[in-house]
Amino acid sequence: MIAWMFPGQGSQKAGMALEIEGAADLFKGSRKVMSRDLERLCTTDPDPAWAPDVLQPALFLTEVAIGRKMQALGMEPQAVVGHSLGEFPALVIAGALEFDEALRLVALRGKAMTDAGRRNEGGMAAVIGLDPAVIAEICSEEGDVWISNYNSPKQTVISGRDRGLAEAAKRCMEAGAKRVVRIKVPVAAHCPLMQPARETFEKALAEVTIVAPKCPVYCDADGVAHTDPSEIKDLLVKAITAPVRFTDAVRQMRADGFETFVETGPGKVLRGLVRQIDTEAGLAGVSDDEEATSLALTSRRKNIKYETEPAGVSL
């Protein structure tokens, strides 16, 4: 079976929507929802400024455009998983959330996180090559720092106030981490410092309709499959302050029979993480029209049926 993965912040790049048919129409439609035009930022700007309140809608629009191009070519996911912000394009492509409502939520989420970051200053750092259990113990002992992303057995991200983050980074290196890299983001995402953003987002989400998706949605907050709209809503709220459990999600998907993971968005970040989680998983990526067309041709050649009986063939 085949799952589509939608990346979050960290996968952006200049020109990421330039070669995607249909992206221009989505950007045009987004102007009715947002007060700013993101098309140039995602297409022709050689050095985009990626503030969180801009980056999140930009990635969302780009990934929805890629997913819709794949659907236009006859492909459909048999499950979806989104990494942080990626949960929103995943829900749109799975038919659980309307595009306009999702864009409003994404724009609000980005602004709310930026505002929370001003109130509770901090940041994030990636810890490479150290057991997550050891990292969790260090964080609990230091205080004001938490695990924010269980990305893979080899990569864990921590979030918190600057002092706690620095002390935890030092102790992680002393405990055997290969590297600790400060991430260039202005907020401490997916930790209790985002509580003000969670409250703002929860109020907005209460007014939004989510319907049962066409395929299972593996949620970040618990790493398992969901099709119940109320459960998905609760987990979207929880995800603002809870860690991203991408490792758990991939392992659960493999246990549930998913053999191939298609990264539906710019970059190769999620494929690299999946490779660290399970070396036997099949991997593919689509970031523009050419790659979408190539994947569609491969699917036809291998007789992969997306909407009928799964073929069980890795691409």
Residues 237-285 pLDDT 10s = 999 999 999 999 999 999 999 999 999 999 899 999 999 999 999 999 9
Residue 252's contacts (CB-CB under 8 Å, 6 or more residues apart) are: 218, 223, 224, 225
Given the DSSP bridges, would you call strands 145-152 and 225-226 parallel, antiparallel or unpaired?
unpaired
Query: How large is the angle between the packed helices 99-119 and 195-205, nearest 10 degrees?
Result: 160
Q: What is the mean pLDDT of residues 154-168?
A: 96
Q: Quickly count: other Cβ atoms within 10 Å of residue 176's Cβ.
A: 10
Query: Structure pTM?
Result: 0.91
Q: Which one from 83, 152, 190, 287 is the annotated catalytic residue?
A: 190
In sequence order, what are the beta bridge partners of 125?
158, 182
226 is catalytic: no
CA distance 111 to 52: 7
The pair of structure tokens assigned to 251 is 């392992």
Write the pLDDT tens digit of every residue in 57-76: 999 999 999 999 999 999 99
- Can you say how many angstroms the Cα of residue 132 is from the centroid of all Cα atoms in its chain? 20
314 is catalytic: no
Given the DSSP bridges, would you call strands 2-6 and 80-82 parallel, antiparallel or unpaired?
parallel
What structural domains and CATH numbers belong to the chain? 2-117+192-301 (3.40.366.10), 123-183 (3.30.70.250)
- Can you say how many angstroms the Cα of residue 127 is from the centroid of all Cα atoms in its chain? 19
Write the pLDDT tens digit of every residue in 16-61: 988 898 888 888 878 877 777 788 888 988 888 777 678 899 999 9
The helix/strand/coil state of 133 is helix
Q: Which one from 11, 30, 84, 299 is the annotated catalytic residue?
A: 84
